[in-house]
């Protein structure tokens, strides 16, 4: 089954708003054991997380991601206020989920759990189902930070933010050079 693992990243913009990024990394369930094995072998700290790594380690991790059997990624970005972050997430998921199901042929989506915030993701999915933008066949689950497959999405989203907002382009260049990543920029609301 084709799957998408989704995580987010954000950065402060010069105007005080926040760049908000949601990345969905595509893979096939047949490859999950190999991906998990490669990523857990890298762990010095558990879980693997972009912001907890040094710049040198980020490059090493990006080089490993470049060798993995990933099927690319789809990202959506927008700018928002601090208080509008949940609405921005819903907008970006409304853009991503139909594309994942109908264009990328994803049957299972896994998002990083935000405990009480998970209900907002389920509410967004239900709205999309009621509007017939996605079907009931699209399965959505939440997983904790220790889920190694979510680390791929964290690295894609965070390396994009690091490249565009923090003058750290190398991890993004490595990952983007190895796997096709499509980016949709939604206008702020």
Model confidence pLDDT, tens digit, residues 95-141: 999 999 999 999 999 999 998 889 999 999 999 999 999 999 999 99
What pLDDT is recorded for position 68?
98
Full strand arrangement of the beta sheet holding 139-143: 139-143, 108-112, 2-12, 18-28, 73-80, 181-185
Q: How many domains are contained in the chain?
A: 1
Per-residue pLDDT tens over the stretch 131-187: 999 999 999 999 999 999 999 999 999 999 999 999 999 999 999 999 999 999 999
Q: Tokens 């980016």 identify what position?
A: 183
Q: Do 45 and 55 meet the contact criterion of CB atoms below 8 Å apart? A: no
Residue 45 pLDDT greater than 80, yes or no? no
Helix ranges (DSSP H) in 29-147: 32-42, 55-67, 85-102, 118-130
What pLDDT is recorded for position 53?
94
Residue 93 pLDDT greater than 90, yes or no? yes
pTM beyond cutoff 0.85? yes
Chain Cα centroid distance, residue 143:
13
Share of the chain above pLDDT 70, in %: 99
What pLDDT is recorded for position 44?
77
Residue 23 binned pLDDT confidence (cut-offs 50, 70, 90): very high
Q: Are strands 139-143 and 18-28 parallel, antiparallel or unpaired?
A: unpaired
- Which CATH number fits the domain that encloses residue 91? 3.30.420.10
| Distance, CA of 186 to CA of 79 (rounded, Å) | 8
The domain of 50 spans 2-185
């Amino acid at each position: 089954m084709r799957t998408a693992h989704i995580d987010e990243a954000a950065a402060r913009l010069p105007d005080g708003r926040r760049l908000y990024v949601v990345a969905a990394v595509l893979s096939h369930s047949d490859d999950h054991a190999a991906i998990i094995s490669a990523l857990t072998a890298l762990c010095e700290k558990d879980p693997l997380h972009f912001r907890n790594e040094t710049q040198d380690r980020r490059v090493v991790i990006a080089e490993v991601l470049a060798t993995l059997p990933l099927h690319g990624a789809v990202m959506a970005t927008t700018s928002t206020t601090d208080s509008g972050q949940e609405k921005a997430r819903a907008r970006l998921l409304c853009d991503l989920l139909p594309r994942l199901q109908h264009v990328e042929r994803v049957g299972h989506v896994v998002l990083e759990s935000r405990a009480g915030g998970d209900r907002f993701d389920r509410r967004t999915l239900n709205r999309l189902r009621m509007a017939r933008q996605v079907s009931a066949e699209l399965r959505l689950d939440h997983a904790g930070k220790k889920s190694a497959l979510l680390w791929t999405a964290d690295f894609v989203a965070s390396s994009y933010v690091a490249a565009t907002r923090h003058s750290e382009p190398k991890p993004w260049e490595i990952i983007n050079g190895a796997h096709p990543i499509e980016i949709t920029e939604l206008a702020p609301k």
